[in-house]
Amino acid sequence: MRKLISFMHISLDGFVAGENGEMEWILVDNELFDFVAKMTDQADSALYGRVTYEMMQNYWPTAGEQANATKHDIEHSEWYNKVSKIVLSRTIKTTEFSNVKFINDNLSENINEIKKQEDRNILIFGSPRATQSLLNEGLIDEFWLFVNPIILNEGMPMFKDIKKITNLKFIENRNFSNGVIALHYGIVNN
């Protein structure tokens, strides 16, 4: 069965966004983009919460076609357009795009069925509320937490409203020259 892996940038004090959703503090560069591209090569699906999906859908479909597109824009846009997208939403139920599936209810049943269908990983980019729901249902297999060298002091916490203790097993870490440290953990089944 394939894995459901969460990719999340966090501040040193555990926030994924500022009080009003600010994310300009997140450090990204070509080294980090190349690393993430290796992960996307191992995945054929992306999972998003509604807010993140709408943000992604407004940018990535045409990002690679822009005159000022970077290598990352071109590569990630190509990947985004071809992968299956899974969106957790109680408000959006349909789309004009054929490679998007909306899940409105029966989260565990639907996600477990999807995990059985393909042989490549499912990646969750951002989507903190969706990640929290999936973690509460025991559906996440691994985390890649990109710890940014900043203390926000307030904002949207990464692990808000988690209903149970979740044991993690350290797998590896990766240090980037921009100061970001990526921590890779697996979920230990209790």
- Closest by CA to 81, choosing from 103, 101, 97, is 97
Is 80 exceeded by the pLDDT of residue 97?
no
pLDDT tens for each residue of 75-85: 999 999 999 99
pTM confidence score: 0.91
- Closest by CA to 3, choosing from 131, 152, 114, is 114
Residue 127, Ramachandran bin (φ over 0: left; ψ between -120 and 50: alpha; else beta): left
Is 60 exceeded by the pLDDT of residue 21?
yes
Return the percentage of the chain with pLDDT > 70, whole number: 96
Is 80 exceeded by the pLDDT of residue 94?
no
Is 60 exceeded by the pLDDT of residue 185?
yes
Is 90 exceeded by the pLDDT of residue 127?
no
Tell me the C-alpha distance between 161 and 88, whole Å. Answer: 17
> 3-class DSSP state for residue 151?
coil
CB atoms within 10 A of CB 36: 20
Architecture of domain 4-188: 3-Layer(aba) Sandwich (3.40)
CB atoms within 10 A of CB 103: 18
Tell me the C-alpha distance between 24 and 52, whole Å. Answer: 15
Q: How far is CA 92 from the centre of its chain?
A: 19
pLDDT tens for each residue of 155-182: 999 998 888 889 999 999 999 999 999 9
